Copies of this chain bind each other. A is one copy, B any other.
Amino acid sequence: MYIHQLENKNECQIKNLTKMEKIIENLKLIKDTMKDVRMYCHAANLLEFDQQTICPSKAMEQQGEIYAFLLNKAFVLQKDPAFVQAVIHLYDHRTEIEDKLDCVMVESLYLDHLRGKNITSEIQHEHSLVYNRAFVNWLSAKNASDFSLFATSLDEVREAQLKEESLNEARKATPYDTMLDYHECGITCSDLDETFEECKERLIPLLQKIKASKKKIRTDFLGRTVPEEAQRKMSEFLLKTMGFDFERGAYSTAEHPFTSGLGKFDARVTTHYYPNAFYSSMFSIIHEGGHALFEQNQPAEDFEHFIEFNKTMGMHESVSRFYENRIGRSREFISLIYPKCKELFPEVFHDVSEREFYEAMNIVQPSFIRTEADEFTYTFHIIIRYEMEKLMINGDDSGNMVATTDLPKIWNDKYEKYLGICPTNDRDGILQDIHWTTGFGYFPAYAIGNMYNAMYFNRMKSEFDLSSAIKSGDFNTINQWMKNHVWAHADQEDPKTWIKNITGREFTPHDFLDYLEEKYGEIYDL
């Protein structure tokens, strides 16, 4: 019967069928392979989660080796000639692929192919070990507050990253542009230079005004002791309030709060409980909870097409910082959670009003640690990181490379210049963040994320009464809007296209800067 049908077709039809069959066959091949790739990556990600939450110190190196081993297996699968041939064939015929997401998947895999085709399994495995060693050494260096213990590893990471860049066949104008593109597809140094210039122009004078303001904000209650158990209950309350699904997620503690996105069925958030800084775990859990909400609400077809974490980390950070700042630090949210704060932390809140709590959560205070910075000065931390990374990767304006040993001084000088403070030790300075143990180009995503969420916040506000929704804890409405507009195509489109499709406007930092001016003008009576 099948033969009979063929006989009735003309040659062209036969060719078409064959071509379509080939496409279907190749799509099946790459999906089957990617399923195995994901198994290895999932196991590796779980090892990483474990390493940052419970793994004993002396087991870390061994576990790092297993992590590298698994990632290498995943890498090798994607190097298989049949797989590579299928990707190239499908890319060449991408206009003939019927399913839109199959096409996105193919384009994404082809880009991966261009980025990685010259990286051998040996290089990949060696670099995995470099990054893991860097993590272990960074941890020791940070504990000892001694940059020199991390300097060699940082050099190794920089070399590894530059080598990967030089082998990348989808290179951009400069090495740092290539690294940016990896995290935020289509964003360049020139975009960021312009954006950050605008930020500096408006935020530096505003910071001066805030510093000069006579406004007194109470902070005396922030250091009051809160037992871990009460903080844990607060974390659970906040996650529940936000709409976090505990059957498809978990929460734990870690030295450095993070989210482990293990897929739709498993989004794990972590926080850290400081007895004398109760608010720290509150806002880190809201931030990480935001990441997790995205995971739990991402379209199932993103997973089926292996395109999660595809094009934009800025989108991810926009979501976490949307929940942390635009919602979490709003008057409405503070009003929503204030009764619970009084109930769980009576030792803190017995003499603190709602307004005092709101102001303290929004006090502008230049400080050393990015993750604990207020919403206003936060952008300066990112600008500093961006300038440091560009310098480390592209060299200075004359293209001269900077010595790793000079980095702490450069770092400290920039804090002096932008924020008027100078770190007195490496732990509070250049060693504070884990990111440089795996590479460069991620930090701008945090600042871009703030700009994305300011844009979609305004859009959301125009569609329903967001203020009332927050105040009444109606996260169902908020999360549903996020699901339909922000999350539906987040990993399917370029970030520039994505934000335009949500808001109807081109990417701009203006919404974010307007918001800061308005909010902090009110708080500081400017």
Q: A250: which of B56, B229, B247 is its contact (CB, 8 Å)?
A: B56
Of A38-46, A135-143, A204-212, A433-441, the segment with at least 4 beta carbons within 8 Å of chain B is A38-46
Which residues of chain B have C-beta atoms less than 8 A from A66's C-beta? 39, 42-43
- A69 on interface, CB distance cutoff 8 Å: yes
Which stretch, A115-123, A170-178, A262-270, A393-401, touches the partner chain B?
Answer: A262-270
Contact A58 B248 (CB under 8 A): yes
Q: At the interface, yes or no: A462 with Cβ under 8 Å from chain B?
A: no
For residue A46, which residues in chain B have a CB less than 8 angstroms away from its CB?
46-47, 50, 63
Question: Does the CB pair B229–A54 fall under 8 Å?
Answer: no
| With A46-B50, A56-B248, A250-B55: A39-B265 Cβ-Cβ less than 8 Å | no
**Given A43-B66, A46-B47, residue A59 in contact with residue B229 (CB < 8 A):** no
Count this chain's copies in the assembly. 2
**Neighbouring B residues of A249 by C-beta, 8 Å:** 56
Is there an interface contact between B247 and A58, defined as CB atoms closer than 8 Å? yes
Q: Is A10 an interface residue (CB 8 A)?
A: no
Specify which of A56, A70, A73, A248 lies most central, judged by the most chain B CB atoms within 10 Å of its CB. A56
**Which among A39, A65, A263 has the highest number of chain B CB atoms within 10 Å?**
A39
A246 within 8 A of B: yes
How many Å lie between the Cα of A23 and that of B496 in the bound state? 63
Q: A65: nearest residue on chain B (CB-CB)?
A: B39
Tell me, in angstroms, the Cα distance from A58 to B267 when the chains sit together.
11
A228 at the interface (CB under 8 A from B): yes
Given contacts A39-B69, A43-B43, A229-B229, contact A56 B252 (CB under 8 A): no
- Does A95 lie at the interface of the complex (its beta carbon under 8 Å from any beta carbon of B)? no
In this assembly, does A62 line the interface, its C-beta being within 8 Å of a C-beta of chain B?
yes
Contact call B62/A266, Cβ cutoff below 8 A: yes
Measured between alpha carbons, how far is A246 from B54 in the docked complex, in Å?
11
Whether B54 lies near A263 (C-beta < 8 A) is no
- Does A16 reach chain B (CB closer than 8 Å)? no
Residues in chain A within 8 A of chain B (CB atoms): 36, 39, 42-43, 46-47, 49-50, 54-59, 62-63, 65-66, 69-70, 73, 227-229, 246-250, 252, 262-263, 265-266, 268
Q: Can you list 6 A-B pairs, Cβ within 8 angstroms, ordered by A?
A: A46-B47, A56-B268, A58-B248, A59-B262, A59-B263, A62-B263
